[in-house]
Structure 1
Amino acid sequence: MPFSFIYDANTQTAWPIAQVTPGSPPGGPSPDAPESQQPRLVAGPPFRIILDIHFTAPPPPEQPDARKAASYVAQLERADAELRARMARLGMGSIGGFGDDQDALLGLDIDVG
């Protein structure tokens, strides 16, 4: 049963309001139905609603940090070295070198030193 409610922001209390038609067939009463079968609004027991909505500006975008970038690259290089060592121990093939000729083909100038 859908319902609306009346809300008091000072007390954070709401009262449900539903339209009820006593003794009515599905689809509602006929227009010539007696007064006792006409739709009525009924208030239910009050309940609490706490609406805590804050509208603020989004946080500023994260600025590039050279130390974080260097740490990330160092971790990638360490993971690459560990992966290559594991593959060599297991006798698996090579996965190519970091910054192989693909970088030259793409015209990228990468300094890995």
Structure 2
Amino acid sequence: MRNRYFITIDDLRHARGPIPALSFDGVGPGELAAAVEEALRTPALFERWRALQPDPDAVDEALGATDPQAEVKAQVVDLHIEMEVTTQLPMQVLRHRLNLLIGTRWRLHDLRPA
């Protein structure tokens, strides 16, 4: 089942993940949308994160799920970023990828079936 997640980021300039090598380093909503979309469509970000773990083989494989059809749109609205993510991935995976890219400086404000 595909869902549409509506996410707000108040300050994109300070929205960075805790691991600099994995963190989003762009400046605009278009770059953010592209980074999130790639993180959901491919295993690259997950694999780089997993390689940094003390026991990579112990990492839950479910966190590595991908959705080649994931779509992400982001735009500036009233001085913050509104992002819409459409994917079949569960919230657990989306949360993990967003936290790697932009830390905890985001909030989910709506969820709807796509």
TM range (shorter): under 0.3
Q: Greater strand share, 1 or 2?
A: 2
Greater RCO between the two (CA within 8 Å, min separation 6)?
Answer: 2
Q: What is the TM-score when the length of structure 2 is the normalising length?
A: 0.21
Q: Greater helix share, 1 or 2?
A: 2
